[in-house]
Structure 1
Amino acid sequence: MNLIDAPIVAETAYRHGVSVGDPTPTLDKLNRPLRDLRLSVIDQCNFRCTYCMPRDVFGADYPFLTSAQRLSFEQMVKLAKAFAQLGVEKIRITGGEPLLRRGLESLIEQLAKLTTLSGKPMELALTTNGSLLAAKARSLRDAGLGRVTVSLDAVDDAVFRRMSDVDIPVSRILEGIEAARAVGLAPIKVNAVVERGVNDSQILPLVRLFKGTGVAVRFIEFMDVGGAGGWSNTKVITARETREIVESEFPLVPIVIGQQMGTAVNYRHADGAGEVGFIASVSQPFCGSCSRARVSADGQLYSCLFATQGTDLRPWLTETASVEQLAVAVRSRWIQRDDRYSELRSTVRKPGSGKVYPTVRMSLVGG
């Protein structure tokens, strides 16, 4: 189905009584259920990480969304209710840098009241670069946020500043992590994107720093998303290579497969002092189990991190449209979903072609 036809199909489905809100999984064409919503609240960020928002592209004159172009919190809550009717059990707030969105606590407070189809509280998480977390941790927790993931690619200040390309010390992010731990935003996860020749020297220091603290470090393979225009396979350090580096100093024990959660393959320190995870998004893609939908700050539904086109949900975010109508619109798009870019990367991105795959920018849709 052409994405342009989605509104027509959705409205037709609604008129014919397609049901939502029952426990039957909402499955796409590859039988993947809709379980996770990544909700971007802002496309701006105060970092200029080289692999995501390089400064030469995202300069001072870059046309970010205006406040009028961004969805209101009321619209975001309506979205969340619709996704909950379709089986979503977890909402992750993303950006850009979500803590730049004013009054975010009020959105979290409303989202925290939602329940899943089974009647359980909606799992509510947030991903942040951590620069504003120390000042916000308590109010976020009080509003109902469950846990937080902090993006941190280096503990060496010079490497950190080089990668983030801003005049912010790594100590500020570490203070944010400690503040989150102190108020009970747990479990805390630290995500590090590893790029060969850039921050591979930081793998062991990251593990050393967080071992025994209750903070789980997860290493992510360098992906060709967002601003990674210079991406190349040669810059990828595979999850297996990263694990071997970690195990050169810290013996690891694999966690039983049945206890694995999310996209990471997790290991425990042999001495019981915490966990380390590895996300093999390039070398061992997990498209077959992807249950994530992404909604950008301007109301576009994306069915894949590598999508090139979204479905505009704003027609169902007006005061006259119901949550049920919005849910049918989302369902109509999800059941047509067949994305599996990471599994097809080698054919989509033909070696030597010089072409850059035109993914939606990550700061808009969230990672």
Structure 2
Amino acid sequence: MLEDKFGRRFHYLRLSITDVCNFKCDYCLPDGYTCDSDRDFLSLREIQTLVKGFAALGTSKVRVTGGEPSLRKDLPAIIATCANTQGIEHVAMTTNGYKLESDIQKWVDAGLDSLNISIDSLDPRMFQSITGHDKLTSILTGIDKALALGVKVKVNAVLLKQYNSSELNQFLNWVKKTPISFRLIELMQTGDNQAFFKKNHVSGLPIKAQLLEQGWSQLIRDKAAGPAQEFYHPDFAGRIGLIMPYSKDFCNTCNRLRVSATGKLHLCLFADQGLDIRPALQQEDSQVLETQLHGLLGDKEATHWLQDGYTGGTKHLAMLGG
């Protein structure tokens, strides 16, 4: 089992398959994607070796991320590779939803179990203002299709003071009728968004207090769950989640490791740099990878230090899919 020196076990792999994204979200890529690094992304065979190695060490969940993962034409084959690996029990994906309506059936047929979709506003005009795309109606239709196919759906909204801070009631009304988990994420400071962060960061703690006052109850997290504190209410079809990376002890329950689209292991989203594991992947020998992972995990720190204004090597969230 992959375990660090603080006793944290890693059941969850976040695998980026591209850093390219076609959206221009103000908090991430306001000027759009710029190619400023090697774009020799992991091949399907390398991904197979990677997932096999992680699974042998106790990882049971793989989340495919980007950039925007649907921009890779071999996405269904990547999903199938993960789903057919012994030991992997759950295959998830994070997407901006651009191809959701047209491609959800192909992803499900390949073995996808759950989806995280970014929707930062339910107002079509505000959605277009944030992302640069008039796609909200299509994405909502895609969510309905995914739910009808039995896919577990989570929707992510980054809390933004100047954009969506007044939409909480609209979000709650949607969750009342729709069986999704709607997660509100505190804006995180990165190397490229410091001025934007200062203007727009909103704490999730007052929202948590409001939910508890209104009769919501907190769920117990599964061992392979993400970092959200999730809440349920008997009168609502869906749930509300809060991801608050600036809250006390946020990193105590860390259970996930990240691998970039070019084969770098990131022990934390805000680590100084990625650790190169691609030579082991190119050998197509998962046991070599397993040995290397055990050695590298000793460098994982207790916290991300975000609370001290530290952003590490993360210039923007599209680098590793969050």
Determine if the TM-score, normalized by the shorter chain, exceeds 0.5: yes
CA distance in 2, matches of 1:85, 1:360: 32
1:338 equivalent in alignment to 2:296: no
Which residue of 2 is the match for residue 305 of structure 1? 269
Cα shift at 1:327: 1.2
Q: Which residue of 1 aligns with 2:67?
A: 96
Q: Tell me how far 1:339 sits from its aligned partner.
A: 4.6
Corresponding residue of 2:251: 287
Q: Residue 41 of structure 2 is aligned with which of 53, 60, 70?
A: 70
Q: Does 1:42 align with 2:18?
A: yes
Runs of at least 5 residues in structure 2 that lack an aligned partner in the other structure = none
Does the 8 Å contact 1:27/1:33 carry over to 2? yes
Distance 1:33 1:231, change over 3 A: farther
- The residue matched to 2:271 in structure 1 has which SS? coil
Match of 2:57 in 1: 86
The range that moved more, 174-183 or 132-141, is: 174-183
Q: Does 1:208 align with 2:195?
A: no
Listed as ranges, the matches of 1:354-365 within 5 Å are 358-365=313-320
For 1:324, the equivalent position in structure 2 comes to 287
CA distance in structure 2 between the aligned counterparts of 1:309 and 1:130, rounded to whole angstroms: 29
Q: Is the 8 A contact 2:49 2:284 kept in 1?
A: no
1:1-367 map, 5 Å: 25-55=1-31, 58=32, 62-63=35-36, 65-66=38-39, 69-116=40-87, 121-164=88-131, 166-186=132-152, 188-225=153-190, 227-232=192-197, 235-243=200-208, 251-257=214-220, 261-318=225-282, 320-341=283-304, 344-349=305-310, 358-367=313-322
SS of equivalent to 1:141: helix
Q: What TM-score do the two structures reach when normalised by structure 1?
A: 0.81
Q: CA deviation at 1:49?
A: 0.7
Q: Answer yes or no: is the 8 Å Cα contact 2:60–2:90 preserved in 1.
A: yes
Whether the aligned pair in 1 keeps the contact of 2:124 and 2:134 (CA below 8 Å) is no
What fraction of aligned residue pairs are identical, expressed as a percent? 32
Shift of 1:169: 3.0
Count the aligned residue pairs: 321
The structure-2 alpha-carbon separation of the partners of 1:323 and 1:257, relative to structure 1 and needing over 3 Å to count, comes to closer
- Cα distance, 1:112 vs structure 2: 0.8
Rg (Cα) greater in structure = 1
Change in CA separation of 1:51 and 1:125 when aligned onto 2, cut-off 3 Å? same
TM-score (ref. length: structure 2)? 0.91
Change (3 A) 1:65 1:183: farther
Taking a change above 3 Å as real, the CA distance of residues 127 and 226 of structure 1, as seen in their structure-2 partners, is farther
SS at match of 1:209: helix
CA separation of 1:26 and 1:207: change in aligned 2, threshold 3 A: same
One-letter code of the match for 2:162? G
* SS in structure 2 at match of 1:32: coil
Kept after mapping to 1: 8 A contact 2:252/2:302: no
Q: Decide which moves more: 211-220 or 356-365.
A: 356-365
Question: CA 1:123/1:236 → structure 2, altered by over 3 Å: closer, same or farther?
Answer: same
Report deviation, 1:75.
Answer: 0.4
Farther-moved stretch of structure 1 (35-44 vs 276-285) = 276-285
Residues 357, 144 of structure 1: alpha-carbon distance in 2 compared, 3 angstrom cutoff: closer
> What amino acid is the match of 1:106?
A
Aligned-partner residue type, residue 54 of structure 1: P
Q: What is the Cα deviation at residue 285 of structure 1?
A: 4.8
Distance 1:81 1:168 in 2: 39
The amino acid that maps onto 2:190 is: V
Cα displacement (A) at 1:255 = 3.0
**CA offset digits 1:112-171 (Å, max 9, x no partner):** 11232xxxx52110011111101111111011111111111100012111111x232311
Secondary structure of the residue that 1:317 maps to in structure 2? helix
RMSD: 2.3
C-alpha distance in 2 between matches for 1:83 and 1:142: 23
**SS of residue in 2 equivalent to 1:159:** helix
Distance in 2 separating the partners of 1:200 and 1:242: 11
Q: For 2:79 and 2:134, how far apart are their aligned partners in 1? A: 27
**Per-residue deviation, 1:37:** 0.4
* Superposition deviation, residue 206 in structure 1: 1.8
| 1:281-310 C-alpha deviation (Å, 9 max, x unpaired) | 123451111011100000011010111201
User: Which residue identity does 1:72 align to in structure 2?
Assistant: S
Contact 1:98 1:128 in 2 (8 A): yes
In structure 2, distance between residues paired with 1:126 and 1:183: 15
Aligned to 1:17: none
